[in-house]
Amino acid sequence: MIIALGSDRAAKIMAVRAAVARIATVDARWSEASVTARAVETDAPAMPLTDWELMKGARSRAEAVRAQLQKEGGSAELYVGLEGGFHSVNLDDEWHTFLRGWAYATNGDGGYFGASPSVTVPSSIADMVIDGKRELGIVIDEVANEQDVRSRQGAWGVLSRDLLTRSMSFEAALIAAFAPFYNAKLYR
C-alpha cells in the first residue's frame, strides 16, 4: 500500500508513519504501507483560523498530491492532507482560541476527515497571530527563542512542554481519518 502525503514537512511525515504503525497492530495489511511525500501548492491560507479553513486545507492537500502523482505517472492507494491552525469560539462572551489540526484521507472515490486534540492557545500568542496577521510558526519561534520549531515539536510541543508534539497531534487526526479504510466493515 502506498500512502501519498501532500506535504514534505518532517513532522507530518512522522505522523503518517506513526499512524500507519499503530493501525498495523489491528490490520496487518497496513504493515507493508509506505509513505511518499510531496510538497504541494493549495489555496489554503498560510495561517488557517477556523475549522472550515483547516478542513478545506487538508482536503486540498490530499487532492493536490493526487493530482501531482498523476502528473508524474504514479498513484497511491490513499492520498492524505494535513492542516494545522487555530479555531476560536465565543463561549459566554469569552473568546477561546485552540490549536488543532485536521486530516483528510481519500482513495479517490471519497474521503474522510479526522481531527486532532485541541489545546488552548495563550491569548498573548493568539493575539500576535490573529490581530498581528502573522503565521504561528514565526510567532512560536520567537516565543520559544528557537528556530524552525514547526519542523520538530511544533507549537504543540511548546504549549504542552513536549507532552504532545505536532506529529503526535496529527497522528491522532490520521488514525481517525483512516478509520473507514482499516475498519471498512463498520463503514459500509
What pLDDT was estimated at residue 29?
A: 93
pLDDT tens across 80-138, in order? 999 999 999 999 999 999 999 999 999 999 899 999 999 999 999 999 999 988 889 89
Q: How confident is the model at residue 151 (pLDDT cuts 50, 70, 90)?
A: confident
- Residues in Cβ contact with 87 at an 8 Å cutoff, skipping those fewer than 6 apart: 49, 50, 51, 54, 97, 98, 100, 118
State the alpha helices, DSSP H only, in the chain.
10-24, 51-71, 123-130, 136-144, 154-160, 166-182, 184-187
CA angle 111, 121, 158 (to 5 degrees): 90
Domains of the chain: 2-187 (3.90.950.10)
